[in-house]
């Protein structure tokens, strides 16, 4: 993992060191809490910033035979770190091995490998650095040379922390992103109704019908827009695009508001309608819509009861993607109201499917209007990224790709952009040395710089 890590050819090395490295980071989708940026939080120790909330690491530790007490349980922060250090040597060939050492190197200047014998020394060195002002959240973000961050926010969020960040004069742009999952979560009438009541309150509107429900959401959408938001995101098993009538939706909404659970068919119709309506809203304000498709979540009932969601109990699902996705996009496109769209699949079998689907709806209005999203979650390693970029190259235009995002909950995850950029440069470098693409430094250098940063900046069209 020296300076030419992952860069197997001279061309790759040149592209990376002369072009990729200098570009700032445009992190258009992540889950870091805006509150911690607003407060410019400092962490007491490396476990708090590194292991808390990191289900990738927990899964590796569990697989290594480490008791849950040291992952999510009540062990001390040092004990958790010690167990992580014990696990790291066993993560060879897993991206965690690379991420771990890149993060230690880039943020803390630590070149040593993490293992049980180096654990104490690395713990002490990281912690003493974390105690200095240099390692506050804002300074960590500065160190990573981040230009823009988009967080993930519920429509009922007050966005007070985004306002605070803006008011603080922090030079990195932090925008909200609209994630209305809860406005579609009609599986359980009780939690849905609580959500609708909260929405009514923050939107300042009485919700007594589907129409006023949509009006409240639209007001929040407008508020997000005024707060700088330009993109939405949905986490779904697959797209829902069932048929429904306006009357059916009105009745379904009434039924659930009266405290009744819906049938599977009603749930499907309602969600299909919501996705379409959200698509229209995003189009009306020129936003980008993102869909993360294909996660089969919360597989272990036993651990879910103990630990709750987002604790590493999810895997790749095998849902039907193509037909509903086609119907959904076509429905919006027929009305000339299909907005810029990014699709992420979790099952790599869907790579070519997604890449070709996006091609159906490119319409010449915006370069790369329909985007095949970067290798996501279980696929954000070298193999997954290469497969995603190869599918996109074969079936679309890699040159128009908006590139990498962290999708992370940790402030130390920015080296994932470095990892992506090295993989990208390596892919192009290999083609050059194979004689498959011209060795034209200007053309290739520009392409790399665009994918690393410029494409995203142009595509999302934020107001700075």
Angle at 460 between CA 455 and CA 464, to 5 degrees: 105
Comparison of 127 and 290: residue with beta carbon closer to Zn ion: 290
Query: DSSP letters along 115-130, please?
Result: STTTHHHHHHHHHHHH
Comparison of 127 and 410: residue with beta carbon closer to Zn ion: 410
Comparison of 57 and 292: residue with beta carbon closer to Zn ion: 292
Q: Alpha-carbon dihedral of residues 432, 438, 443, 449, nearest 10 degrees? A: -10
How many secondary structure helices (H) and strands (E) does the chain include? 20, 9
- Going from the C-alpha of 212 to that of each of 196, 215, 249, 260, 369, the distances in angstroms are 11, 5, 13, 19, 32
**Nearest approach, Cβ of 180 to Zn ion (angstroms)?**
14
**403 CB contacts (<8 Å, ≥6 apart)?**
26, 374, 420, 424, 451, 452, 453, 455, 456
Helices (H), 258-363: 264-284, 301-307, 322-334, 351-360
Half-sphere exposure of 408 (CA within 13 A, CB side): 22
Cβ-contact 237, 293 below 8 angstroms: yes
**Residue 329 burial by Cβ neighbours in a 10 Å radius (0-12, 13-18, 19+):** buried
Q: Alpha-carbon dihedral of residues 390, 395, 396, 402, nearest 10 degrees? A: -40
Comparison of 45 and 238: residue with beta carbon closer to Zn ion: 238
Comparison of 28 and 270: residue with beta carbon closer to Zn ion: 28
**Nearest approach, Cβ of 231 to Zn ion (angstroms)?**
12
**Nearest approach, Cβ of 316 to Zn ion (angstroms)?**
15
Comparison of 373 and 429: residue with beta carbon closer to Zn ion: 373
Q: Which residues bind Zn ion (CB under 5 A)?
A: 407
**Nearest approach, Cβ of 29 to Zn ion (angstroms)?**
6
Closest-by-Cβ residue to Zn ion is: 407
**Nearest approach, Cβ of 454 to Zn ion (angstroms)?**
23
**Nearest approach, Cβ of 232 to Zn ion (angstroms)?**
12
**Nearest approach, Cβ of 372 to Zn ion (angstroms)?**
16
Six-digit token string for 208: 């007594």
**Nearest approach, Cβ of 19 to Zn ion (angstroms)?**
28
Comparison of 141 and 342: residue with beta carbon closer to Zn ion: 342
Residue 35 backbone class (left: φ over 0; alpha: ψ -120 to 50; beta: rest): alpha
Comparison of 124 and 181: residue with beta carbon closer to Zn ion: 181
């Amino acid at each position: 993992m020296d300076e030419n890590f992952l860069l197997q050819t001279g061309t790759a090395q040149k592209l990376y060191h002369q072009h990729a490295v200098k570009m700032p980071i445009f992190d258009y989708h992540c889950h870091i809490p805006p509150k911690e940026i607003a407060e410019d939080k400092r962490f007491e120790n490396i476990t708090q910033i590194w292991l808390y909330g990191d289900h990738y690491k927990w899964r590796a530790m569990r697989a290594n035979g480490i008791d849950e007490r040291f992952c999510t349980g009540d062990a001390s922060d040092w004990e958790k770190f010690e167990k992580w250090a014990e696990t790291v040597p066993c993560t060879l060939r897993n991206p965690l091995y690379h991420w771990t050492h890149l993060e230690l190197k880039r943020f803390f200047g630590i070149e040593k490998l993490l293992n049980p014998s180096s654990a104490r020394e690395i713990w002490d060195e990281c912690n003493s650095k974390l105690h200095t002002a240099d390692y506050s959240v804002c300074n960590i973000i500065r160190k990573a040379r981040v230009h823009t961050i988009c967080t993930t926010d519920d429509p009922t969020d007050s966005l007070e922390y985004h306002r605070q960040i803006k008011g603080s004069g922090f030079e990195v742009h932090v925008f909200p992103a609209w994630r209305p999952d809860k406005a579609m979560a009609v599986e359980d009438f009780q939690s849905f109704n609580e959500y609708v009541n909260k929405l009514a309150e923050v939107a300042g509107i009485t919700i007594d019908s589907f129409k006023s429900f949509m009006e409240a959401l639209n007001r929040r959408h407008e508020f997000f827009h005024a707060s700088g938001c330009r993109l939405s995101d949905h986490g779904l098993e697959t797209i829902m695009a069932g048929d429904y009538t306006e009357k059916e939706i009105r009745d379904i909404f009434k039924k659930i508001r009266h405290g009744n659970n819906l049938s599977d068919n009603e749930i499907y119709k309602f969600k299909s309608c919501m996705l379409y309506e959200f698509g229209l809203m995003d189009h009306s304000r020129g936003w980008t819509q993102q869909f993360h498709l294909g996660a089969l979540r919360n597989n272990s009932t036993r651990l879910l009861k103990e630990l709750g969601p987002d604790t590493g109990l999810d895997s790749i699902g095998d849902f039907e993607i193509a037909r509903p996705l086609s119907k959904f996009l076509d429905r919006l496109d027929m009305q000339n109201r299909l907005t810029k769209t990014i699709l992420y699949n979790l099952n790599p079998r869907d790579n070519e499917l997604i890449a070709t689907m996006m091609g159906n709806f490119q319409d010449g209005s915006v370069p790369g209007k329909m985007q095949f999203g970067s290798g996501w979650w279980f696929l954000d390693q070298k193999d997954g990224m290469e497969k995603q970029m190869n599918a996109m190259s074969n079936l679309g235009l890699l040159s128009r790709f908006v590139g990498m995002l962290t999708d992370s909950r940790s402030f130390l995850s920015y080296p994932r952009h470095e990892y992506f950029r090295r993989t990208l440069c390596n892919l192009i470098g290999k083609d050059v040395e194979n004689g498959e693409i011209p060795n034209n430094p200007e053309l290739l250098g520009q392409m790399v710089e665009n994918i690393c940063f410029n494409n995203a900046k142009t595509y999302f069209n934020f107001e700075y």
